[in-house]
Amino acid sequence: MSKIKALDKNRVDKEHNQRTEESVRESEAALQSIFQRKQAEDALRDSEERFRTALEANPDPFVLYDSDGKVIFLTRPSPGFSGGRLKSNWAKRWISLFLKRTGLKPEL
């Protein structure tokens, strides 16, 4: 093999190795990013589940507003909240107030 061909082969091999190493680093970074995103999504899902469970177990009504003041979440009050009967006038007025702002229709 001539000296020029040997130099060209060495240069090509070196470039190939550099590109391969770069590709491996990019793949590892992408996998790490995917793994971190998956962990964050799982943590968020668990947190949301704990939050919803806590709200649903709370006997008091809970209202969550968005940044514009619109009701985006409303829990159903327990019967104890309205003095023992969910169908009392007081409970109906309370629920009616929030339903007007939301369009939500919880089962009562």
Q: Where are the domains of the chain?
A: 1-57, 59-108
CB 63 within 8 A of CB 74: yes
- Comparing C-alpha atoms, which of 56, 95, 88 is closest to residue 104? 95
Q: From CA 63, how far away is CA 11, in angstroms rounded? A: 68
Q: Which residue has the higher pLDDT, 20 or 91?
A: 20
Question: What residues contact residue 68 under an 8 Å CB cut-off, 6+ apart?
Answer: none
Look up residue 35 and give its amino acid.
F
Residue identified by tokens 């491996």 is: 24
Full-model pTM? 0.48
Tens digit of pLDDT for each residue in 11-63? Answer: 888 888 899 999 999 999 999 999 999 999 999 999 999 988 887 787 777 77
Average pLDDT of the chain? 78
